Chain A
């Protein structure tokens, strides 16, 4: 074997091809956007180059004879608890390139997942459980500021009671789950359309992310939350009025304190039109909003957006879960936000510096519990709804988040997994083999919006059913009864400090 530089030799995956099954049909060659499979003219058969494999499993999924198996490279570095292979690989890479390491998707580091250390209560004898198949279950959720008290007057003519209090605009959700902000540009138009359709079908919302909203999707506006981020891409009056809600993105869980960068290669004509940037130019959203340096500045932007949308849409502020998040959330609530979205450190992204992604921020569970508690302590919990995001993996996580104090959750990575994402983490290359994080016309075709919309709607429905089952099991018939009801939660295998922060008792108590 000829000399291989070490960074090339220590690739991550190996392609195993079963020669009894492989028929050299070249489906793998056509599917691999990284050219790991190729037709070898001299050998007259399909061959592969392990060093190019990124572990997306697309070839494995499409191989008609199941001849392929993608495995981790068996050869490994000498076991060393301190110098784990990832550190060596990173150093080899950086010694070669001198650049910042980029990473896609949420952090894979071993930070405790508190969801897995929290258990739900269940009804037994005296407080019987409810059968959701026979009894009505209510998952309806309203996001937005709620009045401290309601004034009701009786209509003199009809004698019927009428609501006197004027309610602020609310987002009405049939299930407390929304599709998280993923911009058109980071993901392609087919998927944006699929999310819009799935949200409309299931009575929930999707978030445009910071890339603007394509004109052809304005018809889904009633189920759209439009985002205003620091780059202000695609933000104009019609856009603000097109959505049912507006979100100011201050931070993102996967990369707190870091801005966004959509590489020029991803900016095609449609993205350019929507984002209002020239074709092929990099779209850089700075880390700070250059008009926000205080809560008062945030207040001004919130009211500017409320003015622009004629006070018809609630305004949300999205922040990353960081130290002192509760105090920050309190400030946001006082600045007039109707919804606060908190994005935990396990949230996904198209591209982030790996060091930021893996070392900055805190888990959503701790942030959420603290924010809910602080807002309650200050007596302003009704002024805002709290939406939790960042690493929500299943309906169990959703229901625990709600019991910890969230009004609803955003799902991002789970959304992408539903349409095929295998979290290979190469979103930033623009060559997503599943046709998700790419605008390459040939690759984005791999997402048929009809199929994707159906899968996304199915996911929301399935989680909705599971939430109903779990609620019924706890003897509750509405999600409202669970919100912030931490007595329904118990911790296992976590310290007193963690229990204290989460505001829950240990199992057995």
Chain B
């Protein structure tokens, strides 16, 4: 399956991927409204995070692992593997906010929702025809959406 692969060699730490993610997952689909309004009001937050240490930075989001630790750890069935697409899917209605997945994920790619007892996780911009918004926004091609 196609996944988003970050390249730490060329990640420049601009965080534009996070902004693109927020916009793609907002109601308004408008960066300014999403960042100023929806972030505070609805707790809208990016499914990915740019980690930085010294000169190195890398944008991490869900790897959609073949055998995901988060799915194994999920006690409510809120996380599961879609057999057709191969994606690790999150069902928000089933999530009970136990944070087991957070602890299980070896990549630190799952975040707490800032307001609700839910998680925030990459869905590869499901339904977005052009593919993940973060990949399109990366100015240095440090994110690639491809089959490997």
Contacts and interface: CB of A to CB of B under 8 A. Distances in A.
A451 B16 CA distance: 18
B15 A451 contact: no
Contact of B14 (A21, A27, A450, A451): A27
B19 interface: yes
Given A27-B14, A65-B31, A442-B12, 12 more contacts: A21-B32, A23-B32, A25-B15, A26-B15, A27-B19, A30-B13, A64-B137, A442-B13, A448-B140, A448-B141, A451-B140, A451-B141
Interface of B: 9-16, 19, 31-32, 35-36, 55, 137, 139-142
Contact of A30 (B15, B31, B142): B15
B35 A23 contact: yes
A31 B14 contact: yes
Contacts, number: 47
A12 B19 CA distance: 31
Contacts of A448: 10, 140-142
Given A441-B55, A450-B141, A27 B31 contact: no
A441 B10 CA distance: 10
Contact of A446 (B12, B19, B137): B12
A129 B108 CA distance: 65
A445 interface: yes
A451 B144 CA distance: 13
Interface residues of A, number: 18
A62 interface: yes
A445 B10 contact: yes
B113 to A, nearest CB: 20
Contacts of A62: 14, 16, 139
Contacts of B140: 445-446, 448, 451
Interface of A: 21, 23, 25-27, 30-31, 62, 64-65, 435, 441-442, 445-446, 448, 450-451
26 contacts: A21-B32, A23-B35, A25-B19, A25-B35, A26-B15, A27-B16, A30-B13, A30-B15, A31-B12, A62-B14, A62-B16, A64-B19, A64-B31, A64-B137, A65-B31, A441-B55, A442-B12, A445-B9, A445-B10, A445-B11, A445-B12, A446-B140, A448-B10, A448-B140, A448-B141, A450-B141
A427 to B, nearest CB: 19
Contacts of A27: 14-16, 19
Contacts of A65: 31-32
A21 B115 CA distance: 26
Please name the 7 residue pairs, one residue from A and one from B, whose CB atoms are nearest each other, closest first.
Answer: A441-B55, A23-B35, A448-B10, A442-B55, A448-B140, A446-B12, A64-B19
A191 to B, nearest CB: 13
A336 to B, nearest CB: 44
A368 to B, nearest CB: 38
A23 to B, nearest CB: 4
